[in-house]
Structure 1
């Protein structure tokens, strides 16, 4: 549909206005309203922003949206994919989650007296997300291909980090008035299971509140260059992430030993299913020269 870096391109959106109109109408009829729909960076990449709602309903909408779009695309002779990384030449496809928290109708992440309006509760919440991000990572990054997205320079996190409106961080604080002040959890890819990714984002944040988790300094600039971050680099493979999750006391406490064991078993099976496959790249690289 597009060939090149046409992120936020008005020209491309207008050129495909009929297609975009069908998607918007389909979502409205399915009660999955969108806040935005536009082309992103990379050939054929489209970003759809699902309108905010409560967490469980948000997960329901995301699952239905992905299934519905894949079926709809086939009726148009196209293929829709939610792989995290389809080409090494372009950034991956993300599944960012925007989170806010309310009590008594008030946004408790917002504090008009605090720096950039980031409340103490929000600091604790983000502190928990960062503290447990390595251990819980596999919930948000669940597939073999997922980890090929987490590379420097591609708008995906490398370390558990946070910053004010910093898209290179794992957690991006988006300051605004009380109705819009929130965080963006940028760890998951488009291949996420939305229920598990939300459980990861919210569960780690709640742990942070319960334990008064400390919040490290925010990152200004490219977070992928911050090799000295105390939490260390995010897991670099499905095998590493699965091992950390299975061995994590916090994961067992939050999600239950039965789930941790079952999900870890499924991820080990997924790793083995892909790990022993010989790829075209390996044949091109080694067949003649080795």
Structure 2
């Protein structure tokens, strides 16, 4: 469908758009300042440890927040194609690595279409909340309290998706060194399909019943491909039967999750 943004390993290729997006600049300062500064200072106060020790451990667990916002317009377009239409992706699913300081590190999203990012999940989540509020308004049920509950419902769905991916790797004996923000990024991509499904219901109510199963299937396929080629590479031992069972679990879990999040109503529990 398109060429991988990063090209082949070992052959540097400059990004098409060297200037980061405005949203990216905003998240650079906010994400880095909160995680490295705020949480580090809080940990130092509570635990009595040095600021360097606390911040280094937080950085190890959360990786580098700025990495996940190094995107450009071309990456966003191509990534949306991979997430929404994974069947059309003809490239490989493995991430591109490069030697940095004697160690192999993954290239940022702007150079690699298979790298996880947080720009698309955050934008999709915000769009989902806005569309959900607009849908409630058309039903005559909008209220600030209902919108707050839908916001919490979306966050809870995101958390459940991340917990599913993280626990799948844990049950396979995967390395705990996998950055937590990788799971957050992969789990947040579900809101891209949900936005189109909710928008379809707003424009034509019956289209929801075609769009929801389609994007549910696409998200399941995307996560299976990603977990199989990217995250399961961290697993120490290979057990094909356990791999296949957990991959099927991840795929089938998208149906109840999408159905729950796609049901825009005042009662957010159903």
Is the TM value for this pair above 0.5? no
Identify, as 1 or 2, the structure richer in helix.
Answer: 2
Identify, as 1 or 2, the structure richer in strand.
Answer: 1
Q: Structure 1-normalised TM-score?
A: 0.28
Structure number with the bigger relative contact order (C-alpha 8 A, sep ≥ 6) is 2
